[in-house]
Structure 1
């Protein structure tokens, strides 16, 4: 039998020790969202933001508890189906050992909350529904602000210029239902009247003429619309083709810049009120982020989903650093507020200021309106957002 000389054996041991010291473990962050079907564009935008953050983190791998890590995003398609989300959550935790999973739709969030505490996984909930953090789930963080923040300024902008009669032609999924339930009494309390209410299945159709026609027959001054950006744009476009000349109130899931690409510009969306696209945000960190994103994505503009979920991944890794663990979801959740607050501006383009007491994001959001074919913005202070 051949024997290594002693000095060679020592060198080999040292070599293995050095290579082990520089070896990098993997932090896996899960994603369950729509990557096919009518909401695929929305789901891919969310995933793009997560992957952009992971790439930046991996350029200078993080050290936590004496170990060096790289980040991997494990993405599963749930087709916007909550039952698929629940199955995906099990797979992500049991097969991939993810300590955190991001879900970008309310039905999926609520399905995940049925088991995430038992599975001991942090749920990063991309939904503006306040119920996501009001249920007392101790391992949930809500990434965007509470959608009810937008209702009053949306109503004021549309009603003051276009009239008091509104027709509802929004999507029929859980998130749109919640928006509608909060919007209708607020519109009426402001002195308006709901003249039609006809929700439609945005994720299963591309021809909305008959549904929109029923709504505009009631002669509304304003149409309340919204779901994923692509079908929402088609609803607006087809409403114009049917002769509607009023304003649109666009719930925050749909993005005005993505809609404009489908409608052929902002002229079709004249009078629309919605959330300011990231590309229209002129705050310095937002401008810098948009520039970086365009360079990486052939000139494409980032949506607010891209920006907020990009920040969520950076904040999750920062919370792991603060907690000193990559696997203890409870310890990581306990550090998420500080992680958001301490993030450098370059990693926080949407200006998330932290979490409220229930785990909802506090965000300085900007309301946008389309006037004379251009976007005009108004800042909503964070003391109203996310509370």
Structure 2
């Protein structure tokens, strides 16, 4: 009798531990970004922001649906390539992820978004081409500024603050670069800037001599480039070699220390760019995030680390509000969310764009972009 009673007591003592083990639910979160190739620096930056958010959430012991949640990131390299991005999307769908933070590139996001939406998986992307959210996909959200905001605000700043009268425009023909250049051109013309010409390159190019030689003869006050740092840096080197003295303007694709690393001493204080979000160094939460990121990775947070961090936090909050990790349950909570993050406040309009997305204008100093003003 005593032995039976003791056995029952041992089993009862162990029972809560068994229950606790059963009540921990692993929730897979997908990441899609360029982890190899020319844009790997941006991909690693974004990856770091997401990893920090997941570690933070796991340390908080979030409970959803009566179960303790453990988030696990599934990090995938889409190589900034649309075809690879669609393959990554299908892989993450097959893995059973409950959300995807990314992709980074508009050219990857537009085709991949259909795969995620068809599978009913929520996607929070920083991709800026307006087409991303104009497709009418129920599960697609943009967690950063759009091209209309990034390109338009750069044009306004150029007209009103830099007093630019003439500009030459170059874009890399990606969905991102083309969309950004189109928005810049539209707002520039509306504000009295004369567009002297539109030239095109690609996101693999390294030689811009012919384009820049043609532009030099037109003597523009500024050149606007719709594209990324791996081309922007070398382009600036070649501008210096050719004696092109125009200001160099761009969007978030060039708004990173990588421009300085690739462009060297050609990256002067005549290089300006825009990035979605408020000035991090003016916000207590932004300063804390930047310090934590530097401490963890021994490198500064670049363009969208904070947005990937916030994107994960916003999705987790929607899950908590809906008391479910299932996208079809929490997507409506995401549509109604009011969340204050590191990079700004998150509320979505009918297209799933941010209702308010401040844009910060940066100027390069010592090869590194420094925030000038929110515009």
Stretches of structure 1 lacking an aligned partner (at least 5 in a row): 381-387
CA distance in 1, matches of 2:100, 2:335: 17
1:246, distance to aligned residue in structure 2 (A):
1.6
Q: What is aligned with 1:384?
A: none
CA 1:361–1:211: 2 relative to 1, 3 Å = same
Between 176-185 and 268-277, the greater mean CA deviation after superposition: 268-277
Q: TM-score, normalised by structure 1?
A: 0.86
Which residue of the partner structure matches residue 312 of structure 1? 311
SS of aligned partner of 1:217? helix
Secondary structure at the aligned position of 2:252 is classed as: coil
- Give the structure 2 partner of residue 71 of structure 1: 71
Match of 1:196 in 2: 197
Aligned match of 1:173:
174
Note the residue ranges of structure 2 that are not aligned, 5 or more in a row: none
**Displacement of 1:138:** 0.7
Structure 1 distance, partners of 2:175, 2:267, is 30
Three-state SS of the structure 1 residue aligned to 2:254 is coil
Q: Distance in 2 between matches of 1:271 and 1:90?
A: 39
2:113 aligned partner: 113
Q: CA deviation at 1:184?
A: 2.2
Work out the CA distance in 1 between the residues paired with 2:93 and 2:49.
Answer: 21
1:284-327 CA-to-partner distances (Å, cap 9, x unmatched) read: 221121111111121x2212310011001011111111111112
TM-score, normalising length: structure 2: 0.88
Q: How far is the alpha carbon of 1:376 from its aligned partner?
A: 5.2
Kept after mapping to 1: 8 A contact 2:237/2:264: no
Match in the other structure for 1:61: 61
**Partner in structure 2 of residue 385 of structure 1:** none
Contact 1:277 1:303 in 2 (8 A): no
Structure 2 equivalent of residue 27 of structure 1? 27
2:374 paired residue number: 379
Assess if the C-alpha contact under 8 Å between 1:130 and 1:147 holds in 2: yes
Query: Residues 137 and 371 of structure 1: is their aligned pair in 2 closer, same or farther, counting only changes over 3 Å?
Result: closer
Distance 1:276 1:269 in 2: 20
- Inter-partner Cα distance in structure 1 for 2:275 and 2:265: 17
In 1, the alpha carbon distance for the partners of 2:201 and 2:127 equals 20
Question: What is the CA distance between 1:8 and its match in structure 2?
Answer: 2.0
Verify the 8 A CA contact 1:157 1:273 in the aligned structure 2.
no
Number of residues paired by the alignment? 368
In 1, Cα distance between the equivalents of 2:334 and 2:62?
Answer: 17
Query: Who is 2:363 aligned against?
Result: 370
Seen in structure 2, the aligned counterparts of structure 1 residues 193 and 353 have a Cα distance that, compared at 3 Å, is same
- CA RMSD of the aligned region, Å? 2.6
Cα 1:257–1:319 change in 2 (3 A) is same
Structure 2 counterparts to residues 96-245 of structure 1, below 5 A: 96-102=95-101, 103-159=103-159, 161=162, 163-202=164-203, 204-245=204-245
Partners of 1:85 and 1:108 within 8 A in 2? yes
Q: How does 1:285-364 map to 2 (within 5 A)?
A: 285-298=285-298, 300-327=299-326, 329-339=327-337, 341-343=338-340, 348-364=341-357
* Counterparts of 1:371 and 1:62, CA distance in 2: 41
Check conservation: 1:367, 1:378, Cα contact below 8 A: yes
Give the SS at the match of 1:355. coil
* 1:54-111 Cα shifts (integer Å, max 9, x gaps): 11112222111111111111011111122222222121121x2101112222122221
